[in-house]
Amino acid sequence: MPTFNPEDFQFERILPPEENKPILEWDALHRLMLVRTKDQSGEYTYQATRLSQRVNKNLHDHLPDEWSHENDRIVSFSIYENGDYQLEKEKLKYDFNTKKSRWVRYEYTDLSMTQVTELFTIMKSAIEVNRLQSEIAKSKAVIDVTSTFKFLEQTEQQKKSNITQLLRKSDWTQLSDAPEVFENEKELWTTYRNWLRDNVKYPSDFTDPLDFLIYEEEFGWPIDPNTYHEKDPEHSVEYLSSPDHFTNVPEQSGSFAIEALMGDIKLAAVTERMRQEEGLAIQKELWEKVVQYRLNDNIDEVIIQNLKIMEG
């Protein structure tokens, strides 16, 4: 008798037509959420997110028992724009003949429209918990690293080294016999050098490292007069008066140390500042579901002190 070999089978997932795709889908076993969103052009697109183990477990543990519990749990839930839904569950059944338990899947169809709406709102609330947990955890981790004395000291030394290099490379422009390729070139080089001396701030200029990180990500190095002249030969826009006259990287001075740090420092810094000053926004309706179904159990980041509850 041949043995069962799963590689002998090929499976193809059959998707419904594009217009009939769900607006939200929860793959409970794999912790995946798929949500339909509208982009700036008005076209629909689908965004997938993987729930953390804790958020996914809270969903399973705190939904009403008639929807999901330890021995009769949700496998997947999909809801469509017209209110139709698909709820697949699996029940643990004991076979007295074999004396073994096994999971049996089936489709659950007994939800009322009120319950479908409720479950949909709970799913949206879980996504918000997952988002907030991720944003706060990431921002704290980045801030913890970038606020250390060693990092800030290295950053300050790197900036000062960059300025020294840029000034040395342009020392020749201040000589009395330095040639001028274009009109007022020497004057522009003087403006460039003065800007470097007077407008660059360091970690030691800030009492709160968070303020420095936000400043640093918004900071731009001036392009030199040669680059300015190449871009605007007529000098129609006054030098260093336009955002186009600044760049994130100091020209010809090598990469800046902060760029090597993993993660979006500016986003982390802004997120942390918002959390400290006013809290991260969450809709009141969703927060009420978070509390009601304990979706934030054992999630230290998603607590009322870190949030700003918004009406509507």
Using one digit for the tens of pLDDT, what is the confidence trace for 153-199? Answer: 877 888 888 899 999 999 999 888 888 888 899 999 999 999 999 99
**105: Cβ–Cβ under 8 A, 6 or more apart, which residues?**
75, 88, 89, 90
Q: Are 133 and 282 in contact (CB under 8 A)?
A: no
Flag whether pLDDT at 104 surpasses 50. yes
Q: What percent of the chain has pLDDT over 90?
A: 45
* pLDDT at 302 (0 to 100): 93
The closest of 66, 72, 109 to 89, measured between CA atoms, is 72
The burial of 109, by beta-carbon neighbours within 10 Å (0-12 exposed, 13-18 middle, 19 or more buried), is given as exposed
Dihedral sign for Cα atoms in the order 153, 158, 159, 160: positive
Residue 142 pLDDT exceeds 80: no
Question: Where residue 14 falls among pLDDT bands split at 50, 70, 90?
Answer: very low
- Helix or strand holding residue 86 (H, E): strand 85-95
Residue range 252-264: average pLDDT?
A: 43
Instruction: Examine the pLDDT at 238 and tell me if it is beyond 90.
Output: yes
Q: How far apart are the first and last CA of the chain?
A: 64
- CA 270, CA 203: separation in Å to the nearest integer? 17
Digit-coded pLDDT (tens) for 63-100: 998 888 888 999 999 999 888 999 999 998 887 888 88
Buried/exposed 245-259: b ≥16 CB within 10 Å, e otherwise:
beeeebeebeebbbe
Mean pLDDT of 208-220: 80
Mean pLDDT of 108-129: 93
Length of the chain: 312
| pLDDT-derived band at 259, boundaries 50, 70, 90 | very low
DSSP state, residue 256? -
Q: Beta strands 72-79 and 85-95: pairing type?
A: antiparallel
